[in-house]
Chains A and B, each alone.
Chain A
Amino acid sequence: KQEVTQIPAALSVPEGENLVLNCSFTDSAIYNLQWFRQDPGKGLTSLLLIQSSQREQTSGRLNASLDKSSGRSTLYIAASQPGDSATYLCAVRQGAAGNKLTFGGGTRVLVKP
Chain B
Amino acid sequence: GAVVSQHPSWVICKSGTSVKIECRSLDFQATTMFWYRQFPKQSLMLMATSNEGSKATYEQGVEKDKFLINHASLTLSTLTVTSAHPEDSSFYICSSRHPNTEAFFGQGTRLTVV
Which residue of B4, B44, B49, B107 contacts A103 across the interface (Cβ within 8 Å)?
Answer: B44
| A6: nearest chain-B partner, CB-CB | B43
Sort chain A's interface into a size bin: 20 to 34
| B93: nearest chain-A partner, CB-CB | A43
Give the complex CA separation of A104 and B100 in angstroms. Answer: 22
Stretch from A12-20, A61-69, A72-80, A93-101 forming part of the interface with B: A93-101
Interface residues of chain A: helix, strand, loop or mixed (majority): strand
User: Which chain B positions have C-beta within 8 A of A41?
Assistant: 91, 108, 110
| B57: nearest chain-A partner, CB-CB | A100
**Can you offer 22 A-B residue contacts whose CB atoms are under 8 A?**
A31-B101, A32-B101, A34-B103, A36-B105, A41-B91, A41-B108, A43-B6, A43-B108, A44-B93, A44-B95, A46-B105, A49-B101, A91-B103, A93-B103, A98-B32, A100-B34, A101-B46, A101-B95, A103-B43, A104-B43, A105-B42, A105-B43
